[in-house]
Structure 1
Amino acid sequence: MLLVGTGSASTQIKLNDRLTGDLVPTHDPVLIREGGTYYVFGTGTAGQDLSSKTSPNLVNWTAQAPLFTKLPDWALAAVPGTKEMWAPDISFWGGRYHLYYAVSTFGSNRSAIGLFTSPTLDPKAPGYGWKDEGMVLMSKESDDFNAIDPNHVIDRQGKHWLALGSFWTGIKLFALDPKTGKPRDPATKPFSIARRHAPADAPAPVEAPFIIDHGGYYFLFASYDYCCKGVNSTYYTVVGRSRDIRGPYVGKDGSKLIDGEGTIFLRADLQEKERFRGPGHPGFLHDADGTDYVVYHAYDKQNHGAPTLRIAPLNWGADGWPVADY
């Protein structure tokens, strides 16, 4: 947080209020740093699959060429009608960056998760280039989950997992083979770790999981209610924690994410502001200096509801729970 002022008067300027550059459009962002450059990747638009933005300082952002301009052939065959890649997740392990992403059509659970890998994120660096590792897993109309919004996590025992899900019966956790980054046993059912409950003929809005390890707990973040409606979006993000990565995840008051509850982490701005609506789909970065950040999108009421990049420092309270300085 920047302090500006003279004498005894000072004004605290939050990181979100300092962001400049190509902040729009941004949907479903993830944040990572390689060397002196920060990267934000997000959902693409038709013909521009997976957006890319870079910054030298987390403040000034410049749009880059999209990571891809064509969907893989396997994705077009697996999910007819899909037009772009959604909701990327980026992590580094095994000497390569692993970029998970989803392909789907709106409102359908005929969806798939794909994977690209590259030794570097810098297009100018030797060896740069994304290798298509193909399909990771898929959901069909007969399944009770939706294979979008992937998040890769390695637990304290070195086991690899993929959290994912949107609507249907909620957020699932799949065990992965660390050599391939794909399910260790495709026949094994995933663990259910978060779910909203609704009447049989009504939606159950929960999606966008992200798991981080801190202070002996795994923290699961998930977004509730509706995105993608501009200023009418009702998205907000909750958090719960568990000693076991498989759950159960509970909020501060003991309420369970598997029951559609938890502790609110991101919500629409304060009543007196009400500018950035529907904050959600968070990603997290533990930076080299030890600072934690949350990246997310929100809809700017002063810019026709445009989906906008938002970044905030993540502080850990004395009670061990995360608080976003947004």
Structure 2
Amino acid sequence: MNRYKFVLLIVLLGSLWGCSSSKNEDTPIFGGAVSSRYTNPVIKLSTPDPTVIRARDGLFYAYSTEDTHNIPIYQSKDMVNWTQVGTAFTNDTRPSFLSGGALWAPDIRYINGKYVLYYSLSKWGEINNNGIGVATSLKPGGPFIDQGSLLISKNIGVLNSIDQCFFEEDGHKYLIWGSFQGIYCVELTDNGLKIKSGSTPMKIAGKAFEGTYIYKRNNYYYMFASVGSCCEGLNSTYRTVVGRSTSLFGPYVDKAGNSMMDNAYEVLIAGSDAFKGTGHNSGIITDDKGADWIMYHAFPVGDPDAGRCLMLDPVVWVEDWPTVKDGIPSSSPMQGPSFNN
């Protein structure tokens, strides 16, 4: 979710064509795969609220809140070395169903042969003057064609209707969303572009959370979310948290069985001496060796003016709970994900 001052970075576009650290190097490993060593952040530019997809072309595409105007799109073969390939919208095509709103917290999915980009359109601090829209494209790099609003706060009766994510199971498609006013779920039509007739919002978590993402593994549904303040630079208290449930609709609980409806959670990634404001994760991505990875944003302590940069860390499952080593971002060189090329 965008809680950092909306900034135009047009003057930086020329530098975005090589935005990964020079420390990131491709390394051949067994089986003909390629892995890359990296040091966080993998994009040292403001890329808040990232969403990442492995597209049909085998490449990865990342989208973020528009600190770079019109939702920037980055491309990578390894989730480590990223290049900006464009923006989802232009000044002429950007959504406008709410006048003067900024584009925050996109979520990208592939639905029925199209790349579907859900986005929040909002003004800072106006919890009843925001909404969620959707755009489509035949290509992950765009251009995206706006399909208009999916829901608006004052019409659906949910304050701060932003920070959406998509979930599909057994042919049913759902939208989960919300920010510090409760987390809600509603069923969508088959094309994912509208709310299904007769479906009404169901509250599934309390007011401590925003930036949610639902992931199913084995018999559990995991709700990843963010708590705290996102956008106060090195004073940010943002951290990534998680709870789990045996049903999409909850109850989601912590390890002690306390409910996320009552604002309970387990901390997955907290701030450290090297990074602050560790939150708003993308989905879990499994590499070709079966290892799971998570991307999120954080402020580098050594360069806070860089903004909320793109981070990458492995996820290890312990007794059916996700863990990140030491519960903080990695800050030393790491072996990256492995993909067959």
Pairwise TM-score range, normalised by the shorter structure: 0.7 to 0.9
Q: CA offset at residue 16 of structure 1?
A: 5.9
Select the residue among 104, 108, 126 that pairs with 1:86: 104
Matched residue SS, 1:189: coil
Identity of aligned residues (%): 33
Q: Distance in 2 between matches of 1:241 and 1:172?
A: 16
Matched residue SS, 2:87: coil
Which stretches in structure 2 are left out of the alignment for 5+ residues? 1-23, 25-35, 330-341
Select the residue among 249, 253, 272 that pairs with 1:250: 253
Query: Residue in 2 aligned with 1:126?
Result: none
Q: Distance in 1 between matches of 2:192 and 2:51?
A: 22
Q: CA offset at residue 133 of structure 1?
A: 1.7
Aligned CA-pair RMSD = 2.3
Matched residue SS, 2:48: coil
Structure-2 change in CA distance of 1:142 and 1:288 (3 Å) = closer
Query: Residue in 1 aligned with 2:60?
Result: 38
Q: Distance in 1 between matches of 2:257 and 2:275?
A: 29
Q: CA offset at residue 65 of structure 1?
A: 2.3
Query: Counterparts in 2 of 1:312-323, with a 5 A limit?
Result: 312-317=313-318, 319-323=319-323
Letter in 1 for 2:291: T
Letter in 2 for 1:291: A
| Kept in 2: contact 1:16–1:312 (CA 8 A) | no
Letter in 2 for 1:80: S
Q: CA offset at residue 148 of structure 1?
A: 0.6
Task: Describe the superposition over 1:185-231 as per-residue Cα deviations: whole angstroms up to 9, x where unpaired.
Answer: 3x6431111113xxxxxxxx421010001011110011111101111
Letter in 2 for 1:92: Y
Q: Distance in 2 between matches of 1:96 and 1:287?
A: 22
Q: Distance in 1 between matches of 2:91 and 2:146?
A: 12
Is 1:184 aligned to residue 193 of structure 2? no
Is 1:132 aligned to residue 146 of structure 2? yes
Query: Residue in 1 aligned with 2:263?
Result: 260
Q: CA offset at residue 177 of structure 1?
A: 1.1
Task: Describe the superposition over 1:214-251 as per-residue Cα deviations: whole angstroms up to 9, x where unpaired.
Answer: 01111001111110111111101211111110111001
Q: Give the TM-score normalised by the residue count of structure 1.
A: 0.81
Matched residue SS, 2:302: helix
Query: Residue in 2 aligned with 1:27?
Result: 48
Query: Counterparts in 2 of 1:247-326, with a 5 A limit?
Result: 247-269=250-272, 274-287=273-286, 289=288, 290-305=290-305, 306-317=307-318, 319-325=319-325, 326=329
Query: Residue in 1 aligned with 2:237?
Result: 234
Q: Distance in 2 between matches of 1:222 and 1:72?
A: 30
Query: Residue in 2 aligned with 1:11?
Result: none
Is 1:55 aligned to residue 58 of structure 2? no
Structure-2 change in CA distance of 1:25 and 1:64 (3 Å) = farther
Query: Counterparts in 2 of 1:203-222, with a 5 A limit?
Result: 205-222=208-225
Q: Distance in 2 between matches of 1:18 and 1:207?
A: 24
Matched residue SS, 1:23: coil
Query: Residue in 1 aligned with 2:16?
Result: none
Q: Distance in 2 between matches of 1:135 and 1:260?
A: 29
Structure-2 change in CA distance of 1:284 and 1:166 (3 Å) = same
| Kept in 2: contact 1:211–1:221 (CA 8 A) | yes
Query: Residue in 2 aligned with 1:164?
Result: 177
Is 1:17 aligned to residue 39 of structure 2? yes
Letter in 2 for 1:175: E
| Structure 1 runs (4+) greater than 4 angstroms displaced | none
| Kept in 2: contact 1:268–1:279 (CA 8 A) | yes
Task: Describe the superposition over 1:76-129 as per-residue Cα deviations: whole angstroms up to 9, x where unpaired.
Answer: 3x42331x3110001112111111001010111211111111222146xxxxx4
| Kept in 2: contact 1:16–1:310 (CA 8 A) | no
Is 1:153 aligned to residue 167 of structure 2? yes
Provide the aligned length of Structure 1 versus Structure 2. Answer: 288
